[in-house]
Amino acid sequence: MSQETSVLIVDDSSIVRRVLSAELSKAPGIRVVGSAPDPFIARDKIMTLHPDVITLDIEMPRMDGLSFLRKLMKHHPMPAIIVSSLTPAGCKTALACLEAGAFEVVCKPGGSYTVKDLSSQLVELIKAAKKSGPTLQAIPTTPTENASTNAMIETTNKIIAIGASTGGTEALRVVLQGLPKTSPGVVIVQHMPAGFTTSFAARLNEICDIEVREAKDGDVVAQGRALLAPGDLQLTLGRDGARYIVRVRPGPLVCRHRPSVEVLFESTANYAGANAMGVMLTGMGDDGATAMRSLRNAGAYTVAQNEKTCVVFGMPRQAIDRGGVCEVFPLGDIAQQIVGFAQGRIKAKAA
């Protein structure tokens, strides 16, 4: 048996791959045989390079690391060390990784924990992992875990979901113009007929610092980008690995609308939970009010425009009355609330 321990580094960050490769290669007895930016490329490299151990990030495109780990331990068990910013000791994701068969879980550098500290720890763990072999545990997966290869317990990505109707075109202008390019990705339903949303998005794009465009099926919800639901189509949030994406599809009227705020908010509650902020702007009726309660129950921070600044205080009132709103603000304050949420200064309040 070779005295060297071969390692494959799996992380979507090119900087992390480069730094870890350089640091681990300095250690006697360790040979970095390659790296991969996502689980699909990792799968192919595992089959061709046959590493003794892999280091594995959690937040990656196409498939998250936890889903990949579960598949790996089922079909090609091998020692895996999780290296992620999502895995402080004792957190849900760390425990789930250990239950899925990870040899150990360590955090990425931060604060007083340096790259040098991480590298020293990894060297010892990698050598120990090779000796012990894969950590196979007879822990059954739940139906939820098997539901989707894109399912994740946690992600650091935040998202803003906005619903609006009557008076919403001006309200959206005020909110979006107040957002910096570092804002989390935004998804929007504004009640509008087909054919109008394209030009409306283009106009907002001209006057805002963030990118604003009409959503297309499969678009990534990225930092500094707002995606507007096309008229006469339903917009839902989904996941592609650690990334949020949108689905734009035909569908029935919901709350008498297509696109519907209810549809967007419900999918945001399901896929983003506490990483989401829901915003209900001016509008007639009750579209989105029930799903805003779902958002709040999922841990999201939810706000509504106040009556004084609304053209029609219908949708915000219904959302408030149904218990879906954490706080109420004048229109001019909402952009700053979004910025505060993005920076972690503002968090959800229990229902």
**Catalytic residue numbers, as ranges:** 165, 191, 287
Residues forming beta bridges with residue 245, ordered by sequence position: 220, 238
Alpha-carbon span 119 to 286, nearest angstrom: 54
Alpha-carbon span 163 to 86, nearest angstrom: 30
Total Cβ atoms within 10 A of residue 141 = 13
| Torsion sign over Cα 82, 87, 92, 94 | positive
Residues forming beta bridges with residue 186, ordered by sequence position: 160, 226
Alpha-carbon span 278 to 269, nearest angstrom: 9
Q: Is 316 helix (H, G, I), strand (E, B) or coil?
A: helix
Nearest 5°: the CA angle 316, 306, 197 is 60
Residue 290 token pair: 């029930």
Residue 303 token pair: 């706000």
Q: Which residues contact 28 (CB under 8 A, 6 or more apart)?
A: none
Say which DSSP state 157 is in.
-
Consecutive H or E run containing 121:
helix 115-132
